[in-house]
Structure 1
Amino acid sequence: MRRAVLSLLLALAASLAPLAAVAQGFGALARVLPGESVVEAGEEGVTLILGLSQPVPFRVFTLADPWRVAIDFREVLWDGLPEGFGEGVPGLQAVETGAALDPGWSRIVLTLAAPMAPRIAAMETDEASGAAFVRVDLGPVTEEAFRARAGLPPGMASDSGPEAEAVARSDGRLVIVLDPGHAGVDPGAVRGEHTEADLVLTFARELADALRRTGRAEVVLTREADVFVPLPTRVTIARAANADALVSIHADALAEGRARGATVYTLSDTASDAASAALAEQHDRADLLQGIDLSRSDDVVAGVLMDLARTETAPRAEALADRLVTAIGVADMRLHGRPRGEAGFTVLRAADIPSVLLEIGFMSDESDLENILDPGWRARMQAALVEGLLDWAETDAVRAGLLRQ
C-alpha cells in the first residue's frame, strides 16, 4: 500500500520535478531535435550541441588517423538531423552519424582538421518537455597529447565509424552505472605522475568487465575518457540508463596519516565526520570552479515528494553500502578504520536510484597508492565488489517482492 501511494505521489510530481522529466520514456529511442542542434566554431575550438527528445546515457572518446571525436548514445535516431549538418564549420572536415558496432549504441563522429580534445561533456534536461541537451566543447591540443588519449575504450567493438546496424537493448539483467570520479580540468588527487581521474577510470573499466563477465549485469560508465562531466550530468546518465544502482568511484587524498583503506559512503545532509565533509567539499568544488550549474531549484511540493522517494531508496542504498563493506572485508582487502561514512555528495542525490560513493583507497597513503597501481590487487578488489553487488541485488529483489505482497 505504501509503495502504491508513493508511486501515485511521484506521478503527481511529473510536471514539477526534474526527476520525472528525466525518467520518462526509457523504453523508447531518443530522437534528435534538429532545431535544437548545432555545431559551431568558437575562438579556441568547436562546440557541439545536440537536442534530444529524452536523456540517454552517452560516452565520449577520441580516435586518431584521422583526428576524430566520437560520441556514443544509448540510443538515438538520427533521422531528423539535416543533411550537411556541420558542413563549413572551421576546424571540422565532416560530421557522420549512424550506429556503433556495440549493440544498442548510436554514434556521431566529428572528423577534425587538427587535433582537438573534449574539455567538457554535459547534459541538461528541460523540466517542462523532458528534452535533453548535450554539449561537448572541443579545444586544441598537441598531436602528442591527442595520441596519448586516443583509442576505443576497453571492451568496445573495434569499429572506427558509425556504419554498423543498430541492435535494440535487451533488458532483464541488473543495470549498474559506474561513475569514475573527476577528469578533464579536475584531475582529482595527484601524486607524482598519477592522477585520481586516470586511476579510477582504469579501475571502473576493469570492474565493468568483471561485472559483464558474470552475464548478470549490464554496465554503463558515466565517462569513458578524460573528459569533465558535471556532477548533475552523472546523475542524469544513471537515470537515463534506468540504473538499478549507481557506484561512484574515487581514490582521494586527505592529510597524511588521516585516511587509508576502502570506505563506502551514502548520502546525508550532515557528514559523519570531518574527513567526510572535506571529501564532499572537494568533490563538489570542481563544478563550481567550472562555472557549471545544471541543477534546478525544485518546486517545494516536488522537493517533498522526492524526499518521500528517498525514504524508500535510502535504506536500499545503505544496504548496498553495508554489503560492499562486508564483501571487501570477507575478501581480506584493507578497509578504513571507519569503513562506512555519510556526506552530502551531489552525485548521490538521485531520489530514485540506490547510490553509493566508494573510495577504493587514498592516494595520500603510499601503501594504498601502491595497491591501486597493482593489477592483482585491483582484480581482487573488483571480485569482492562484484560479489557484493550481485548479493545485494538478490536480497533487494527478495525485499521488493515481499513489499509488493
Structure 2
Amino acid sequence: MKVVVTRRAEAGNRAARVLCRLAGAAVLALVAFPSLAGGIAAAGAEVTTGSIPAENSALLAYSGRMAGDDARTRVIIDFDKRPDISVHYVANPYRILIDLPETVFALKKDEFAARGLFTDVRFGAMAEGRSRIVLTADRPASVTSTEVREEEGGKSFRLVIDTGIVTEGAFAELVNGQKWKEATTSVASADGAVVPGGAVEPGRFVIAVDAGHGGIDNGALGVETGTHEKDVTLAFAKEIAAALNKLPSTEAFLTRDNDEFLSLPQRVQLARSRNANLLISIHADTLRQKDIRGATVYTISDKASDSLAANLAARENLSDEIAGMPLEGEPPEVADILIDLTRRETQGFSVGLAKQVVDAFEGEVKLINNPHRYAGFRVLKAPDVPSVLLELGFLSNKEDEQLLIDPAWQKKVAGLIAEAVGRYRATVVANGG
C-alpha cells in the first residue's frame, strides 16, 4: 500500500484555528473525561475523549468525517502528530480495520458518522499502546489508497483513506492473504501488577475476576449519566478482587486492570492459564424496558432459560465482532468425550456458585425475577473452570444506574460476593471437590 506524504503550508490564520481545535480537544481530554483512558467511542455516542499520558506520547485524533456513496467513500481524520497505520480485513460482516498506535479520540458524532459504504464506525483502545478504527460495510470493500498530508508546517497531519467496493472473491483474497494476529494479553493482578501464567501455589483458591467490555467495546450506556458499562465493570472488578483477596488462601486476579479490549476467548484462556478455580464475569447491561431493575446471575447452557437471557447472551457475544476480531469456531477439544464430561461437572459447580451468590444477595441487593438464569455466553465456555456472569443491575434503569456508580454500593456488593465464594468453597471442600 502506497503512503503519500505532502507538505502544504497555508496562511497563519488557518494555523491558529488548527491550534485552537487541538487545544480545545486536549482540554476535553484532560478535564471533561479524565476517567476514560484511551478515548473510546462508538458512532452515535457523544464526544468521547481520553486522558493524555504524562509524556504526551499518544496521538490525538481531534477531527474526522466521511463522504461518499454506495460505491466509494473517503475517510478523513486529523491528528496532532503523524499517524502510523496498518490496514486489515475481517469478514462476517465485512470490516476494514485501521490499526493505530495509542490514540486519544476527540471526534464528534455529527462529524465522524458512518456514511456511504459504511453502516457503522467504532474506534478506541485495543490494548496498551494500540488503538483501532473499525469500519463495517454491508458489502465487500477495500482500501484503495491512503495518504498522510502534513498540514500547517507540521502542526497537524491529515489521514485520508479512500475505499471502494470489491467482489466477494477479491475480499476473500484480502482476508486470506494477510499475515497478522491479535496481540496476546498478560494477566493483571488486583493491584495492577502483571501476573504470568503457570503454576499456582498448592492450596490456593484462584479466582479470575473479569470486567466485561473495555477499550473499543464500551458496552451499555447509562440512561442518566452516560456512564459506559466498561467503566462500571472495571470499578466493580477491582472491588471484588480486593474483597476476595481478604479470604484465607485465596488469590483473585483481574483479566484486565485498565481500559483495554480483551476478546472473549482471551478472557477464558486467561482464567485457564492460571488454573483458576472460578471465573466471575461482571456486567451491567441495558434493556428496552427501563422499569426492570435488579441483579441476575447467569450460568452456561446450550438452551436459554428465557428470551431475556437469550437476547442478553446474543448481545454480549457480539463483543469480538464490535472490535473487529475474526470470529473463530470452537477448538477441536470440544468434541472430546472427556472434555464433555468435564464440562458437565463444571456446569454443576457453576450452578452451585450461582445459588450461593443469589442467597448472599437476598435481602441485601435487589434481584430480578428468577435471578438465576442461563444462556450460551461465550465467556462462560471454559470446560474446566466453573464460571458465572453477574449482571449487577441495568444501566437503563435510573435507580440501578445510581447504585452501580456508587463506590459504597460497589464495596458492599463486593463483600457479599466474597461471602458467597467463601461458602461455595466450603461446600465444595466438604463434598470432596
Same fold (TM over 0.5): yes
Q: How many residues end up aligned between the 2 structures?
A: 271
Aligned-residue offset at 1:294:
5.9
Aligned equivalents of 1:203 and 1:334: distance in 2?
Answer: 17
Measured at CA, do residues 398 and 67 of structure 1 come closer, stay the same or move farther in structure 2, by a change above 3 Å? farther
2:214 aligns with: 183
Measured at CA, do residues 364 and 299 of structure 1 come closer, stay the same or move farther in structure 2, by a change above 3 Å? same
Measured at CA, do residues 139 and 257 of structure 1 come closer, stay the same or move farther in structure 2, by a change above 3 Å? closer
Q: Which moved more, 1:168-177 or 1:230-239?
A: 168-177
- Structure 1: which amino acid aligns with 2:389? L
Runs of 5+ in structure 2 lacking a partner? 5-36, 39-50, 59-81, 85-99, 106-123, 134-187
Aligned equivalents of 2:333 and 2:270: distance in 1?
Answer: 25
Aligned equivalents of 1:68 and 1:375: distance in 2?
Answer: 31
State the identity as a percent. Answer: 37
RMSD of the TM alignment (CA)?
3.4
1:364 aligns with: 396
Q: Is the contact made by 2:304 and 2:310 (CA closer than 8 Å) also made in structure 1?
A: yes
Is residue 2:385 matched to residue 1:373? Answer: no
Aligned-residue offset at 1:169:
6.3
Measured at CA, do residues 387 and 172 of structure 1 come closer, stay the same or move farther in structure 2, by a change above 3 Å? same
Aligned-residue offset at 1:307:
1.7
Q: Is the contact made by 2:190 and 2:253 (CA closer than 8 Å) also made in structure 1?
A: no
TM-score normalized with structure 1 length: 0.60
Measured at CA, do residues 114 and 201 of structure 1 come closer, stay the same or move farther in structure 2, by a change above 3 Å? closer
For residue 383 of structure 2, give the secondary structure of its aligned residue in structure 1: coil
Q: Is the contact made by 1:153 and 1:225 (CA closer than 8 Å) also made in structure 2?
A: no
Deviations, residues 139-160 of structure 1 (Å, cap 9, x unaligned):
69xxxxxxxxxxx997347xxx
1:66 aligns with: 55
Compare relative contact order (CA 8 Å, sep 6+) and give the higher one, 1 or 2: 1
- Structure 2: which amino acid aligns with 1:333? V
Measured at CA, do residues 68 and 240 of structure 1 come closer, stay the same or move farther in structure 2, by a change above 3 Å? farther
Is residue 2:121 matched to residue 1:120? Answer: no
Measured at CA, do residues 305 and 194 of structure 1 come closer, stay the same or move farther in structure 2, by a change above 3 Å? same
Measured at CA, do residues 273 and 381 of structure 1 come closer, stay the same or move farther in structure 2, by a change above 3 Å? same
2:258 aligns with: 225
Measured at CA, do residues 258 and 287 of structure 1 come closer, stay the same or move farther in structure 2, by a change above 3 Å? farther
Aligned equivalents of 2:332 and 2:421: distance in 1?
Answer: 34
Q: Which moved more, 1:252-261 or 1:267-276?
A: 252-261
1:86 aligns with: none
Aligned equivalents of 1:280 and 1:186: distance in 2?
Answer: 16
Q: Is the contact made by 2:102 and 2:131 (CA closer than 8 Å) also made in structure 1?
A: no
For residue 125 of structure 2, give the secondary structure of its aligned residue in structure 1: strand
TM-score normalized with structure 2 length: 0.56
| Bigger-Rg structure (1/2) | 2
For residue 400 of structure 1, give the secondary structure of its aligned residue in structure 2: coil
User: Counterparts of 1:6-405 in structure 2 under 5 Å?
Assistant: 64-66=53-55, 119-121=125-127, 137-138=130-131, 155-156=191-192, 170-191=201-222, 192-257=225-290, 259-293=292-326, 295-299=328-332, 302-329=335-362, 332-400=364-432
